[in-house]
Amino acid sequence: STQSHGGSVKMSTLVTLVGTPFSTFTRAISMGLLEKGIAFDQVPALPHSDDAKAHHPMGRIPSFCHGGFWLFESLAISRYIDASFPSSAPLRSQDTRAAAIEDQWASFIADYAFSALEHGLIKVRLAASTDASDERYNAKVAEGLQRSAAILDIIEASVQGPFLLGSEVRWPDLFLIPILSDLNATVDSNLISSRPKLAAWFQVMTSRDSYARTSAGTLEAKQSKL
């Protein structure tokens, strides 16, 4: 069923977000809308469902609607949100070069971090065999750990603090935190805690109201350490 999220911004047209809370990209956009105080309705559609296919040619999530204008792909949605609601808690810098760096890291996270962590490790853990001697499973985990560690080392070296790119929360923060929330629900949570700057950033992000308000239905909320 559709879920309504209140906001402080006066709205003349309705905002709708299509995507299940379990989706990291859907959560990133949800958090952005909440950070900006934008009220929206959320249709908790699964990937490749009829609702997802109706607005994304590949049946992916999220998709987004503002006053009848539909968009898919999270990077496009995030840029539209800041351009359309510039006066409320900007998540993208006005300075051209600063904005380009933010886009750079959002793209890096959406591509490399998502692939390495979600597909390469977290989903491997979710599909885990109970047989610890399963050589294929152990090989996949070992590869996933190596890839994930390499990506997180790159991010660790780039964290400026308290947020990824300095003193203000930006879209790269919101793209990364849902992925690391999932990671924190697995036995590999030490990949976060063993990196001091990333661990401090994780504490800052998980204490935000937008994080708490989007936790229901996520991997971290649904289960204990895998």
121 close to 185: Cβ distance less than 8 angstroms: no
Which is nearest to 174 in space by CA: 49, 68, 82? 82
The pLDDT value given to residue 101? 98
The pLDDT value given to residue 223? 74
Q: What is the pTM of this model?
A: 0.93
53 close to 27: Cβ distance less than 8 angstroms: no
The pLDDT value given to residue 4? 76
> Sheet harboring 15-18: ordered strands across?
3-5, 40-43, 15-18, 63-66, 69-72
Alpha helices in the chain (DSSP H): 24-35, 50-55, 74-84, 96-108, 123-126, 135-158, 171-184, 190-193, 196-206, 209-212, 219-222
Cα–Cα distance for residue pair 149/78, rounded to 1 Å? 27
161 close to 173: Cβ distance less than 8 angstroms: no
Residue 124: both structure tokens together: 């491997």
The pLDDT value given to residue 186? 94
The pLDDT value given to residue 129? 54
The pLDDT value given to residue 119? 96
Cα–Cα distance for residue pair 20/115, rounded to 1 Å? 19
The pLDDT value given to residue 10? 58
The pLDDT value given to residue 222? 85
Residue-wise pLDDT tens for the chain (226 aa)? Answer: 677 777 665 555 699 999 999 999 999 999 999 999 999 999 999 999 999 999 999 999 999 999 999 999 999 999 999 999 987 889 999 999 999 999 999 999 999 999 999 999 999 998 875 555 688 888 999 999 999 999 999 999 999 999 999 999 999 999 999 999 999 999 999 999 999 999 999 999 999 999 999 999 999 998 755 5
